[in-house]
Amino acid sequence: DAMRPQFEKVTVPEGASWSLLDRRLDDGIPFQWHYHPEFELTLTLNSRGQRYVGDSVAAYDDGALVLLGPNLPHTWCSAERIDGRHPHNALVMWFTEAWADGLTASLAEMRGVAALLARAGRGVTFSRGAAAAVQPRIAAIPRQAPAERLVTLIGVLAMLAEDDGAAPIASPASRRVAAATPDRARIERVLDHIHAHYREP
């Protein structure tokens, strides 16, 4: 089944507790229907197109910011760059449920973040104002050292928890993918190979 989402293995770098991908693509963001057990916060810059999350298909534009819960199938598929001199840019932040629980369970200040993450099972799209407010913070993360990156991400999540305009993306019926698919080990090996050799033809 072509629409069966592929499992994506997310690796966390040494010396960090979460993973950042600063994805820059001249040819556009390809349709790659996939899921993973991590939460994902994605900021798309200099790009517009279609966003597929669960059973939802919607347009996205420059500066769109979305939070996805674990095992929620998704992909972006770009139509065009806004400034043709620069690539499509997706800043993707992945963190585990265990990371989120550790952050929210023991810190009273993170109650709002816990409530936000609880809503992420359907995906959450943030208001233009909230996305614009955190955009410079997220854009700075790639240049930061690991400890500073962590503090920035926590601050971004705390700000986003205050967004009254945040809205769910998929319908409540949009089921998450069962965590253990029979082919998971095989798919992981394939994806490991692809990630290791993706620059080769």
Pairing outcome for strands 47-53 and 39-45: unpaired
Residue 110 CA: distances (Å) to CA of 45, 104, 178? 28, 5, 28
Single-letter amino acid, residue 95: F
Three-state secondary structure string covering 29-48: CCCCCEECCCEEEEEEECEE
pLDDT per residue as tens digits for the range 45-100: 999 999 999 999 999 999 999 999 999 999 999 999 999 999 999 999 999 999 99
pLDDT per residue as tens digits for the range 115-169: 999 999 999 999 999 999 999 999 999 999 999 999 999 999 999 999 999 999 9
Helix, strand or coil, per DSSP, at residue 154:
helix
Q: pTM score, two decimals? A: 0.84
